[in-house]
Amino acid sequence: MPTPLPIQPPNGRLGVLTPGMGAVATTFYSGVLAVRQRRAIPIGSLTQMGHIRLGKRTDNRNPLIKELVPLADLDDIVFGGWDPILPFAPFTLIPGIIWFLLKIAFFFFVFSWVKATVPRYRYDQLMRLGWKVFLPISLAWVVITAGVLVTFDLLPVKG
Protein backbone atom coordinates (compact mmCIF):
# COMPACT_ATOMS: atom_id res chain seq x y z
CA MET A 1 0.00 0.00 0.00
CA PRO A 2 1.46 3.41 -0.92
CA THR A 3 2.33 5.79 1.87
CA PRO A 4 -0.31 8.49 2.34
CA LEU A 5 0.57 12.04 1.45
CA PRO A 6 0.66 14.45 4.39
CA ILE A 7 -2.17 16.98 4.37
CA GLN A 8 -1.14 20.41 5.50
CA PRO A 9 -3.40 22.06 8.09
CA PRO A 10 -5.27 25.13 6.87
CA ASN A 11 -3.72 28.47 7.67
CA GLY A 12 -4.94 31.99 7.03
CA ARG A 13 -8.51 33.10 6.50
CA LEU A 14 -11.25 32.22 4.03
CA GLY A 15 -12.69 35.31 2.37
CA VAL A 16 -16.37 35.26 1.38
CA LEU A 17 -17.67 38.13 -0.75
CA THR A 18 -21.44 38.23 -1.17
CA PRO A 19 -22.55 41.53 -2.70
CA GLY A 20 -26.21 40.49 -2.64
CA MET A 21 -28.18 39.73 0.51
CA GLY A 22 -30.53 36.95 -0.53
CA ALA A 23 -32.06 34.33 1.70
CA VAL A 24 -29.10 31.93 1.43
CA ALA A 25 -26.49 34.61 2.19
CA THR A 26 -28.51 35.97 5.10
CA THR A 27 -28.92 32.50 6.60
CA PHE A 28 -25.21 31.80 6.11
CA TYR A 29 -24.19 35.08 7.77
CA SER A 30 -26.53 34.71 10.72
CA GLY A 31 -25.55 31.07 11.29
CA VAL A 32 -21.80 31.74 11.23
CA LEU A 33 -22.12 34.81 13.44
CA ALA A 34 -24.33 32.94 15.94
CA VAL A 35 -21.77 30.13 16.21
CA ARG A 36 -18.94 32.65 16.63
CA GLN A 37 -20.76 34.35 19.51
CA ARG A 38 -21.46 30.94 21.11
CA ARG A 39 -25.21 31.49 20.81
CA ALA A 40 -25.71 28.35 18.74
CA ILE A 41 -23.96 25.18 17.65
CA PRO A 42 -23.70 24.32 13.96
CA ILE A 43 -26.44 21.68 13.92
CA GLY A 44 -27.03 20.42 10.40
CA SER A 45 -23.57 21.39 9.23
CA LEU A 46 -22.03 18.17 7.98
CA THR A 47 -18.52 19.63 8.00
CA GLN A 48 -18.72 20.97 11.57
CA MET A 49 -20.80 18.42 13.46
CA GLY A 50 -20.77 15.30 11.27
CA HIS A 51 -18.85 12.18 12.26
CA ILE A 52 -17.17 9.63 10.03
CA ARG A 53 -16.60 6.02 11.03
CA LEU A 54 -13.11 4.60 10.66
CA GLY A 55 -12.58 0.87 10.76
CA LYS A 56 -15.15 -1.55 12.11
CA ARG A 57 -18.12 -0.58 14.23
CA THR A 58 -16.55 -2.25 17.20
CA ASP A 59 -13.40 -0.07 16.89
CA ASN A 60 -15.35 2.96 18.15
CA ARG A 61 -13.31 5.36 16.02
CA ASN A 62 -15.68 8.18 15.03
CA PRO A 63 -13.79 11.45 14.58
CA LEU A 64 -15.48 14.62 13.40
CA ILE A 65 -15.14 15.30 9.68
CA LYS A 66 -13.47 18.63 10.44
CA GLU A 67 -10.79 16.73 12.43
CA LEU A 68 -10.10 14.40 9.49
CA VAL A 69 -10.17 16.87 6.58
CA PRO A 70 -8.47 20.28 6.82
CA LEU A 71 -11.35 22.75 6.62
CA ALA A 72 -11.61 26.41 7.47
CA ASP A 73 -12.86 26.97 10.98
CA LEU A 74 -15.95 29.14 11.35
CA ASP A 75 -13.84 31.70 13.20
CA ASP A 76 -11.57 31.99 10.14
CA ILE A 77 -14.32 33.05 7.71
CA VAL A 78 -14.17 36.72 6.75
CA PHE A 79 -17.18 38.37 5.15
CA GLY A 80 -16.12 41.11 2.77
CA GLY A 81 -19.25 42.61 1.26
CA TRP A 82 -19.05 45.80 3.28
CA ASP A 83 -15.28 46.19 3.50
CA PRO A 84 -13.62 49.03 1.55
CA ILE A 85 -11.85 48.07 -1.65
CA LEU A 86 -8.54 49.47 -0.38
CA PRO A 87 -7.58 49.39 3.32
CA PHE A 88 -6.43 53.02 3.74
CA ALA A 89 -7.88 56.55 3.82
CA PRO A 90 -9.97 57.98 2.14
CA PHE A 91 -11.55 54.57 1.43
CA THR A 92 -11.78 53.63 5.10
CA LEU A 93 -13.69 56.84 5.89
CA ILE A 94 -16.73 55.69 3.90
CA PRO A 95 -19.20 53.66 6.03
CA GLY A 96 -19.54 49.94 5.34
CA ILE A 97 -23.19 50.15 4.25
CA ILE A 98 -22.22 52.64 1.51
CA TRP A 99 -19.51 50.25 0.28
CA PHE A 100 -22.02 47.43 0.33
CA LEU A 101 -24.58 49.40 -1.70
CA LEU A 102 -21.89 50.54 -4.16
CA LYS A 103 -20.78 46.95 -4.72
CA ILE A 104 -24.38 45.82 -5.25
CA ALA A 105 -24.90 48.66 -7.76
CA PHE A 106 -21.65 47.79 -9.56
CA PHE A 107 -22.53 44.11 -9.94
CA PHE A 108 -26.09 44.97 -10.99
CA PHE A 109 -24.69 47.31 -13.65
CA VAL A 110 -22.22 44.69 -14.94
CA PHE A 111 -24.86 41.93 -15.08
CA SER A 112 -27.35 44.26 -16.81
CA TRP A 113 -24.71 45.42 -19.25
CA VAL A 114 -23.71 41.87 -20.18
CA LYS A 115 -27.33 40.79 -20.52
CA ALA A 116 -28.09 43.74 -22.80
CA THR A 117 -25.05 43.33 -25.05
CA VAL A 118 -24.79 39.55 -25.46
CA PRO A 119 -27.09 38.36 -28.23
CA ARG A 120 -29.82 35.87 -27.45
CA TYR A 121 -29.37 32.54 -29.14
CA ARG A 122 -32.14 30.26 -30.29
CA TYR A 123 -32.05 26.62 -29.21
CA ASP A 124 -30.71 25.40 -32.57
CA GLN A 125 -27.98 28.06 -32.51
CA LEU A 126 -26.91 26.99 -29.03
CA MET A 127 -26.79 23.34 -30.08
CA ARG A 128 -24.74 24.17 -33.18
CA LEU A 129 -22.39 26.31 -31.09
CA GLY A 130 -21.95 23.50 -28.57
CA TRP A 131 -21.38 20.72 -31.09
CA LYS A 132 -19.36 22.58 -33.72
CA VAL A 133 -17.34 24.97 -31.57
CA PHE A 134 -17.15 24.07 -27.88
CA LEU A 135 -16.88 20.28 -28.22
CA PRO A 136 -13.96 20.39 -30.71
CA ILE A 137 -12.20 23.06 -28.63
CA SER A 138 -12.65 20.94 -25.47
CA LEU A 139 -11.35 17.78 -27.14
CA ALA A 140 -8.38 19.66 -28.60
CA TRP A 141 -7.63 21.10 -25.15
CA VAL A 142 -7.65 17.62 -23.61
CA VAL A 143 -5.25 16.35 -26.28
CA ILE A 144 -2.96 19.38 -25.89
CA THR A 145 -2.92 19.05 -22.09
CA ALA A 146 -2.15 15.33 -22.30
CA GLY A 147 0.59 16.00 -24.84
CA VAL A 148 2.24 18.64 -22.65
CA LEU A 149 2.04 16.39 -19.56
CA VAL A 150 3.61 13.44 -21.40
CA THR A 151 6.21 15.50 -23.31
CA PHE A 152 7.53 17.36 -20.29
CA ASP A 153 7.16 14.39 -17.89
CA LEU A 154 4.68 16.21 -15.64
CA LEU A 155 2.42 13.26 -14.95
CA PRO A 156 1.72 12.63 -11.26
CA VAL A 157 3.78 9.85 -9.72
CA LYS A 158 1.90 7.06 -7.96
CA GLY A 159 2.83 6.29 -4.36
pLDDT in tens, 58-90: 888 888 777 777 677 777 777 777 777 788 889
At residue 112, the 3 state secondary structure works out as helix
The confidence score (pLDDT) of residue 37 equals: 87
Which whole number is the average pLDDT over 18-40?
A: 79
**Measured distance CA(29)–CA(12) in Å, rounded:** 20
Residue 159 has pLDDT above 60, yes or no: no
Phi, psi dihedral angles at 40 (to 5 degrees): -155, 165
**Whole-number percent of the chain with pLDDT over 90:** 23
Confidence of residue 147 (pLDDT cuts 50, 70, 90): very high
